[in-house]
Amino acid sequence: MARVTDEQVDFILADFTKRGIVLEDLRDDLLDHMCCIIENEMSEDDNFYRFYEYVLPRFFKEELAEIQRETDNLLRFKNFYSMMKMLKLSGILTVIFSLAGALFKTMHWPGAGMMIVLGGFFFSLVFLPLLIALKMKDDASKVDKAVFALGFFLAMVMAIGLLFKLMHWPGANILMIGGTVSFTFIYVPIYFFSRYRRPELKFNTAVNTVLMLACGGIFFSLFNLSFSKKYLDSMKSQNLEIHENSLLIYASNERLLAATDDSLAKQIHLTTVELDKELEQVAEALVEDPKLHHTQDNAKEIKEKIKTYNAVISTIKDDKITAVDLAPLQVFDRLDAELKIRILTNIQQQIAINENLYLTAL
């Protein structure tokens, strides 16, 4: 059995240090392990240096310094490996839910909204925060840590804003505009000037800056994401035509009502007039100000009047006379002005036709 001399011990310690093992306790542990292997496996006829080079690869996969990095990670983050697993899992779930949600939304299949929400949740509230935490320990420079933390935080804000935009939730534009403006005009210059001066980072910094500015430009284009002008003009024309047809039917109903003393007909007419008046007021307000917000209160008032109207209509035994559907009003505040007006004009037309059907049946 061979014995390790003091000179050989000094050589091993120096080589460990040269290879990146700077933590004293770790270096001593590796030294003990190496000495045990040499004393147990090396014969007296073997060359020490050749045997040492033969045994050393057992300690690592690529380089000895990876032991130092893993030890640092364990010392700084007790849950480092759990965080790494969660980061990978959240990244995979983000890709799966985002792609599946986009596909389902394109094909108009059920469940698209839920998948998009889950994809946005995992990306902005799980993946990016974990990435920030792990990135904070990678860079020795405090400036780099602060810059990357700011960038990932703004990316979270932009991702949440995009999710809100896709789901038509309130506050989407505030999140997207605030995040995008801060990212493009504050973070990108900070990132560029803090790293471009370093020769080894010059090329990567320039490329990353161009990519980030391109992403900022794309997000700017999503602020007013809506229908095309041609489609909106077509909707306006159709809404006006539906409204004019409803007015003609209302005029016919007035003449028919004057020719009957039916009490139910008068009750239907009264509830129809009250509901139509509310619909007309909201529609006119939207025509005057298409960017009118907080119309959910109007939707609540309309729903109450529709419930009263439906209660009256339910007493009529005629399959052609149908109750007004309340479902479109549940998402009323999330829609564009022309879609809101379309819902209102459709209801106006429906209640006008219902009254006309009952009166003509008399």
For residue 307, being part of any structural domain is answered with yes
Q: Which of 195, 221, 247 is the last residue of a domain?
A: 221
- The answer to whether 2 touches 38, Cβ cutoff 8 Å, is yes
CA angle, 139 then 144 then 145, to 5°: 70
Q: How many domains does the chain have?
A: 3
**Residue pointed to by tokens 């000895």:** 64
What's the count of helices (H) and strands (E) in the chain, helices before strands?
A: 16, 0
- The answer to whether 132 touches 149, Cβ cutoff 8 Å, is yes
Q: Which of 72, 106, 128 is the last residue of a domain?
A: 72
| 57 & 99 share domain | no
Per-residue pLDDT of the chain (362 residues; tens, 9 = 90+): 677 788 888 888 888 888 888 778 888 888 888 888 888 888 877 888 888 888 888 887 888 888 877 777 666 666 667 778 888 999 899 999 989 988 988 888 888 888 888 888 888 888 888 887 777 766 556 777 788 888 888 888 888 887 887 776 777 778 888 888 898 899 999 989 888 888 878 888 888 889 888 888 877 776 665 556 676 778 788 888 988 999 999 999 999 988 888 899 899 999 999 988 988 888 888 888 777 666 667 778 888 889 999 998 888 888 889 999 988 888 777 777 888 888 999 999 999 999 999 999 88
| 93 & 217 share domain | yes
User: Domain residues for 38?
Assistant: 6-72
For residue 338, being part of any structural domain is answered with yes
For residue 201, being part of any structural domain is answered with yes
For residue 1, being part of any structural domain is answered with no
Q: Residue 132 contacts by C-beta under 8 Å, 6 or more apart in sequence?
A: 148, 149, 152, 153
| 249 & 204 share domain | no
- The answer to whether 223 touches 173, Cβ cutoff 8 Å, is yes
- The answer to whether 285 touches 277, Cβ cutoff 8 Å, is no
In whole angstroms, give the CA distance from residue 240 to residue 179.
38
Tell how far CA 337 is from the center of its chain: 24
Give the count of beta carbons closer than 10 Å to the beta carbon of residue 118: 17
- Give the DSSP H or E segment for 93: helix 80-107
